[in-house]
C-alpha cells in the first residue's frame, strides 16, 4: 500500500463531481462542490486521478454506498457516505484505509480533491486553508479536461 494510502484511498474518485459552481475560473476563486453536485456527477460513473506524487488510481462509487478502488494493480472494495461537514468519506474493507474529502471543479471534467489537516501543513490552494490537495481527478466515461488552458 502506498505511503499515503489512507488519505488517497479516500476515493480520489470522489473527484467525479460535477457542477458549475466550483469552477476555478469564477471571479471569487474555486468553491466547494455541494453534496448534491458531488452525487449528481459521481455516483455510478468511473473516475480516475493522479495524486500529487504522480501515483495514478481509479474508482467507481455506486448509489448503494459501495466503492471499488484500484491503485498499482491492487483492488480494494469499500463503502462511502457524506459526513455532517459535507465531506465525501471512504472506508475500505478489512481496515485498509479511507478518509474524507472536499472537491472543487477546475473545468468541465477536471476536479481537485482536498483533505483536512490538523497541525502543521503546507499552503492550501483550496477554498479553505484548513485543507490540502490530494490531487486531480476526472470521469473516465467522457474526455478529461484537466489539460485545457483557460481562455481570456
pLDDT per residue over 25-60, tens digit each?
A: 444 667 999 999 999 888 999 999 999 999 999 999
Is residue 13's pLDDT more than 70? no
**Would 149 be classed as within a structural domain?**
no
The count of structural domains within the chain is 1
3-state secondary structure of 152: coil
Structural domain containing residue 97:
5-139
pLDDT at 24: 42
pLDDT for the residue numbered 42:
87
In this structure, the number of other CB atoms found within 10 A of the CB of residue 25 comes to 12
pTM: 0.75
* H/E element, 42: helix 35-42
Give CA–CA dist 88/112, Å, rounded.
13
Measure the CA–CA gap between 11 and 105, rounded to whole angstroms.
16
Asked whether residue 39 is domain-assigned, the answer is: yes
| pLDDT number for residue 23 | 45
Report d(CA 64, CA 66) in Å as an integer: 6
Q: How far is CA 55 from CA 24, 58, 107, 120, 146, in A?
A: 24, 10, 21, 24, 16
pLDDT in tens, 68-77: 999 999 999 9
pLDDT at 149: 67
Within a domain: residue 151?
Answer: no
Closest to 56 in 3D by CA, of 43, 73, 76: 73
* CATH, residue 116: 2.40.128.640
Please report whether residue 147 resides in a domain: no
The answer to whether residue 38 is domain-embedded is yes
* Residue of 65, 87, 14 lying closest to 78 (CA atoms): 65
CA 119 to chain centre: 22
Partner residues linked to 82 by β-bridges: 88
Q: Is residue 69 included in any domain, yes or no?
A: yes
- Give the H/E segment covering residue 90: strand 88-92
**Assigned C-alpha cell, 47:** 473516475
Amino acid at each position: 500500500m502506498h505511503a499515503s494510502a489512507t488519505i488517497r484511498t479516500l476515493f480520489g474518485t470522489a473527484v467525479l463531481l460535477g457542477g458549475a459552481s466550483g469552477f476555478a475560473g469564477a471571479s471569487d476563486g474555486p468553491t466547494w462542490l455541494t453534496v448534491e453536485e458531488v452525487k449528481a456527477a459521481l455516483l455510478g460513473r468511473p473516475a480516475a486521478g493522479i495524486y500529487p506524487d504522480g501515483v495514478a488510481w481509479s474508482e467507481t462509487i455506486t448509489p448503494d454506498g459501495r466503492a471499488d478502488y484500484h491503485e498499482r494493480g491492487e483492488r480494494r472494495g469499500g463503502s462511502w457516505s457524506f459526513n455532517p461537514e459535507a465531506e465525501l468519506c471512504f472506508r475500505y474493507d478489512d481496515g485498509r484505509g479511507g478518509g474524507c474529502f472536499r472537491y472543487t471543479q477546475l473545468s468541465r471534467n477536471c476536479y481537485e480533491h482536498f483533505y483536512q489537516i490538523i497541525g502543521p501543513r503546507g499552503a492550501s490552494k483550496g477554498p479553505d486553508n484548513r485543507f490540502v490537495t490530494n490531487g486531480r481527478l476526472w470521469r473516465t466515461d467522457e474526455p478529461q479536461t484537466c489539460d485545457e488552458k483557460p481562455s481570456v
